[in-house]
Structure 1
């Protein structure tokens, strides 16, 4: 397994992981009609745009098998809302279900954290749906729930939780993670 910076040509693989992860992770959490209408094709333009953006403070990484298939991705950068006292943000991390709990997620988060540290950021947060099974992963990596907010997905209100790290080195030294 190789963790590398996303490049041109990766958008379809990232979009596939994004949609399939939503469908497997959020079943019963977000409305079924939202999940049924997700397609790889509809997400490709979003990822092509992000890959081509050239944003210096953001990073988009993929986990790639030897055969070239993308099985996971993570993206992060400067915290986007400015409402909480954290400098960096893990924007998203998704793995195909069959690759979860294999250590790949921990590697992806570690690489995003290293990027944030190179940008002189010492703190980070991630917004996660409250009922997402990955909440336990963030807790094992030292994340602490610090805030909640309600968002609307489809026709349903759901709660998001902000997990935060006031010291990014905690993410890099956690050895008991089995995401």
Structure 2
């Protein structure tokens, strides 16, 4: 297992992880119509842009298959003045979950935030997504709930925060 910074050529692998993990993680949460419209091709183009501009890390097997990724940076909403950083995403293919990869993918994001003088962080997670327990186990505290709409279905995102990310890993 290897964790490294993503390069634009990783976009197709990252897109595959995102689409596949959304279809397993959010099945029966997010409308099927939305999940069925997600394609590798559409996400690949988006990830090329993101990887070129933002911090993204990938987890890959020994033979180079991308099986997970994370990205993060400055908090995007401005709604949480006590939290300057944000974990935008961690996605791991279902067959590789619960093996410690989440922490391994979180570490370089935290390291980069600390290098920028950012010591607090938020993450948003759908209320029905069991991965919220991962964040709670790492000391995140619920600081807000936000309602979102996906194809007419109202969902709640929980906003978790760490006041000091130096205590996480």
Partner of 1:176: none
Q: Where in structure 1 do 4 or more consecutive aligned residues deviate above 4 Å?
A: none
Partner of 1:19: 19
- In structure 2, what is the Cα distance between the partners aligned to 1:115 and 1:168? 11
Are 1:64 and 2:88 an aligned pair?
A: no
- In structure 2, what is the Cα distance between the partners aligned to 1:170 and 1:155? 39
Partner of 2:4: 4
Partner of 2:30: 30
Root mean square deviation of aligned Cα: 0.8
TM-score w.r.t. length of structure 2: 0.97
Partner of 2:137: 140
Partner of 2:125: 128
- 1:47-71: per-residue Cα shift (whole Å, max 9, x none)? 0111222xxxx41000011111100
Deviation, 1:171, is 1.2
Partner of 1:108: 105
Which ranges in structure 2 are unaligned for 5 or more consecutive residues? none
- In structure 2, what is the Cα distance between the partners aligned to 1:45 and 1:130? 28
Deviation, 1:115, is 0.8
TM-score w.r.t. length of structure 1: 0.92
Q: In the comparison of the two structures, how many residue pairs are matched?
A: 168
- 1:112-150: per-residue Cα shift (whole Å, max 9, x none)? 111101110010000111111101000001111110110
- 1:66-91: per-residue Cα shift (whole Å, max 9, x none)? 11110000000000010112100000
Partner of 1:155: 152
